[in-house]
Each structure stands twice: as C-alpha cells, then as structure tokens.
Chain A
C-alpha cells in the first residue's frame, strides 16, 4: 500500500488478528458480553468505539508531553468521558432516532478497558498519526470479535440476523423449525458470549501456534 508505510499498516492490521484486544489482550470483555445478543447492537457499538478510540488516541497523543504523570489516568478518563458526552449530545440533537438505540451503548464506552488501555500503552508514547492508526486498528479488532459473537448469538439464540428471520418462523413452524429445530435460549444470556469468545480464542490459537504461551 502506497498510502501507508509497512509499519503504519501493521498498526492497523496487527490488532485485527495476532494482537487482538479481546482474544489476545483480553480487554473489553465486559461490553463484549453485554451487548452481543443482537448483531445490530454489535455493529453500532463497534462504530461508536472506532470513533471514540480514534479521536481519543489523537487527543491524548497531542497532550502527551504536557500531561502530569501523577494524574494521567484521570486526564485520560476525562478525555473519554468528554468525547462520549459530545457524541451522545450531538446524536440526540441531529439523529434522534439513532440516539435512542445507541444511548445505552454510548454510555458503556466510558468503561471500556480497551480505550484506557490504548491511551496508556500507546498514545502516551507516540505521535498523533500513529496513535490514530493504532486507535482505529484496535477498535476494528474489537469490532470484528463483537460482530462474530453477535452473529452466532443472534442466529442460534433468536434465529434472526439484523432482526431478519433467516431460519423460518418459530411459532408458525416454518423453515428449519418444521424439522423440530428450536432456538437455544441459552445463547441470549451473557455467559453464552463468554463461551463463544472462548471458542474463538481456541480456534485462533490452534491455527497460530506462536500465540500459545509456554506452560
């Protein structure tokens, strides 16, 4: 790619797989469990995190030389909270319909460990452009897992994708349900997300042996 040097491209590509924030660093698990019962919620949350992490990383990176190290965590928290409130207010004013579905998740972003983790681990020590790429990359890596988990949970738990019934009607017993198939109510509750994330980690490590730690 001519647009990005190889090193810059890796900042985006690494978190997608080999350094994924959820499956490798095990950050941001809380929201991954909470909101992945529906695919739509997963997509929306991913987009919101991409914005907040991208912008937040740049802001922290620009301030990195003047932030007193004693209060840097609080400063980071204020930056996230400010961004989240701005997003919430702007949505309420200009995209009210969207804000109603989003507002629960937007609030959740403040507590997302990935954001604080990237501020602390990357943005405090790197320039704005690199920090921006790192933020986008990590948010994408987070989003990919969210969407995979959301896909399986909604499909197996409710028999729908994006609210669209793909397996037939469970009440009228059409499609797959005619053969005696039933939705698995367990997939809708949060522990199911933990199991799906566990399976993703398992698959990923069995495909890439370098990720397995020495016992």
Chain B
C-alpha cells in the first residue's frame, strides 16, 4: 500500500479523521458508562455518610470497611431519618430527600457569592442515639478534601469520614486511614461557648490521643498542609452550621 503520507493535504485529512474517530469513541463510552458511574458515586456518598455515624463493617484495628454497595441503599433509608437543607444565617431547616446529592463545592461557592444560604445536613438514628452529620468540603495540599463529621447533640464527635482528590499517597492521603480518623471520636468541638473545632496538631504531647478535651488530634508525619486543611475545613463548617447547632444544643 503506497500512500503518500508526507503530503500536506493527507496530513490534514488524517488529523481530522483521527480526531473524529477518537472523539466518537470517547463520547459514546462516556455516555454509555455515565449511569453506572453516577450510581457508583451515589453509593459511595451513602457509604461515607453511614460510615461517619458508625454504620460500617470495621473489624478491630483493620482497614476502613464500608457496608457493601448491595445493602447501602436499604441501610441508608433505614438509618438516615431526615435530610435537611439548613439556612446558614438563621438555622432554619427545610426537609429535602435528595439533600445528600448536593454538590458541596458549588453550594459553598454560592454561599460565598451570596446566591444561596443553605447547606445540607443529615440526621441519623441508631440504637436510640441521634447523629447530626455535617458534610464538609475544603482544600488540602494538591486538591480538594472533603468529609462527613457526625456530632451528638452535646457536640461530641461520634465519628468522621475524610476523603481527598489527590493528596500524596503515603502522606496526605492517609487522612482516610482509620488510624487518623478514629482519633477524632470522642473529641469535643466546643470550648466553652466557642466552636473551636478540632485541630490537627504536630507535637501535641498526646500521640495516643488519650486526652479527649484538648480539641486536638495527632498530625500525620509529612502531611502538614493536608492536616491544616482539615483543621480549617472543620472550623469553617462549624461556623456555617453554627445557627443550627446552637438550636440543637438549647433544645
């Protein structure tokens, strides 16, 4: 087959044909797989929320174990009793069944620019206990970090789940490991009447985290900026949810 491949016209035609073919392959794949991917992402969110309120398959000291995707939808409707959009100025709530699908990044941007003033919040019930689960979103070293923090009505942390988009493997990425997340359990986010949050602190003289009233957890080695991101994220979120949290405490 003798094609004159160095002619300009051939080069242009080749480039156009190639781009069209590749574009068609990728576009059809993306549309074909989208429902499946969306479903996976929805299940993951449900798993994360349930994880924060202690509904998970963790065993002993091992790795993070979610409840399986086959059961997550059923458990989600069983344990999560209410989903709200909370007004960040007044603390008023508006029930919304799809609140957990809210895109936190867009929602926070809208609040900043004054176009919106509500954030999602979920209330869970398990063994007679009530869990107020706050979704959070912030910035790590490389990219976004986010998480869910479950609080009791007296502002004690019952559980957390953190995740990240692109923190360094082995360093900042460890925020989603149990040895980091488990430390938050039992910590208090309030100091007197202030929402101080929980600081990820280096050298806090309490690496085993026995002191639950110091508003600190031990930092990850080599992940200072990711840790600071978590500290800032928790503090900012508490500020936004403050009107609503005040209401829960006084009730």
Say yes or no: B10 contacts A68, CB within 8 Å. Answer: yes
Say yes or no: B18 contacts A75, CB within 8 Å. Answer: yes
Say yes or no: B14 contacts A41, CB within 8 Å. Answer: no
Main secondary structure of the interface of B (DSSP, over half): helix
Residues of B close to A158: CB separation below 8 A: 170
Main secondary structure of the interface of A (DSSP, over half): helix
Measured in the bound complex, the distance between the Cα atoms of B27 and A209 in whole Å is: 52
Measured in the bound complex, the distance between the Cα atoms of B208 and A92 in whole Å is: 37
Determine which of B1, B6, B44 lies in contact with A70 in the assembled complex, contact meaning CB atoms within 8 Å. Answer: B6
Expressed in whole angstroms, the minimum distance between the Cβ of A163 and any Cβ of chain B is: 8
Residue of B nearest to A72 (CB): B5
Say yes or no: A85 contacts B170, CB within 8 Å. Answer: no
Tell me if A174 counts as interface (CB < 8 A to partner B). no
Question: Which of B125-143 touch A at CB < 8 Å?
Answer: none
Say yes or no: A37 contacts B11, CB within 8 Å. Answer: no
Interface size class of A (residues with CB under 8 A): 20 to 34
Question: Which of B8-28 touch A at CB < 8 Å?
Answer: 10-11, 14-15, 18-19, 22, 25-26
Expressed in whole angstroms, the minimum distance between the Cβ of B212 and any Cβ of chain A is: 18
Say yes or no: B22 contacts A78, CB within 8 Å. Answer: yes
Measured in the bound complex, the distance between the Cα atoms of B87 and A206 in whole Å is: 69
Question: A70 and B29 in contact (CB under 8 A), knowing A37-B168, A41-B169, A171-B207?
Answer: no
Tell me if B94 counts as interface (CB < 8 A to partner A). no
Determine which of B5, B19, B22 lies in contact with A68 in the assembled complex, contact meaning CB atoms within 8 Å. Answer: B5
Say yes or no: A67 contacts B169, CB within 8 Å. Answer: no
Question: Which of A150-207 touch B at CB < 8 Å?
Answer: 154, 157-158, 163, 171, 185, 188-189
Residues of A close to B10: CB separation below 8 A: 68
Say yes or no: B14 contacts A89, CB within 8 Å. Answer: no
Give 12 A-B pairs besides A37-B169, A65-B1, A68-B11 with Cβ atoms closer than 8 angstroms: A37-B171, A38-B169, A41-B170, A68-B15, A69-B6, A85-B26, A86-B26, A93-B37, A96-B40, A104-B169, A185-B222, A188-B222
Q: Which residues of A contact B (CB under 8 A)?
A: 35, 37-38, 41, 65-71, 74-75, 78, 82, 85-86, 89-90, 92-94, 96, 104, 154, 157-158, 163, 171, 185, 188-189
